[in-house]
Amino acid sequence: MKILIAEDESGIADTYQRFLEGRGHQVTLTKDGMQCVKAYKDTMAKLPDKTEEYLAHHLPFDAVVLDYKMPTMDGLEAAKLILETNKHQRIIFASAYVMSTLQESVKHLHMVVELVQKPFELDELVDLIEDKHVYEELRKINVKIKKIKEFNPTHEQLIDLLHGLRGLRTKKALVP
């Protein structure tokens, strides 16, 4: 997976990078929101197609992980600019800020984003990025995970699949 990270504390950023690259992910590190938005837009510029349909299925990054409080530009502002560029981009806030403060702030994005509160175990962040929970839920309803992973779905596609299958199960249960 391709992961873009904005983290101003170099020790934390380096730890994220080593851990994620050790799991086989490609990591791009930035030191603040402004660098992150620039890296995002530079990667977007290299995409062969910028149509809504293409961007929904071909994200420049599988996940963008943002610290909330950073110099030059904070994570919230960076998220706003990234989502203006591509509303399908998956955003994960990793921050020491109180969860309720983060939740209130991200309401201004008018998008669903994910939150993980520092301190956390690196496995927790990786599980979130790799959609471990979503795959576990799909496995519970007898989906062949190996077949799904062959398609390399985006997070949004996995969530849609899970919700769709749950909806079908509910309808099936209602049919006499």
Give 20-36 pLDDT, tens digit per residue.
Answer: 999 999 999 999 999 99
Give 81-111 pLDDT, tens digit per residue.
Answer: 999 999 889 999 988 876 666 676 767 777 7
Tell the CATH topology of 2-130. Rossmann fold (3.40.50)
Mean pLDDT on 56-62: 87
Question: Which pTM was predicted?
Answer: 0.82
Instruction: Give start and end residues of each alpha helix (H) in 23-141.
Output: 33-45, 52-57, 75-85, 99-106, 122-129, 132-140
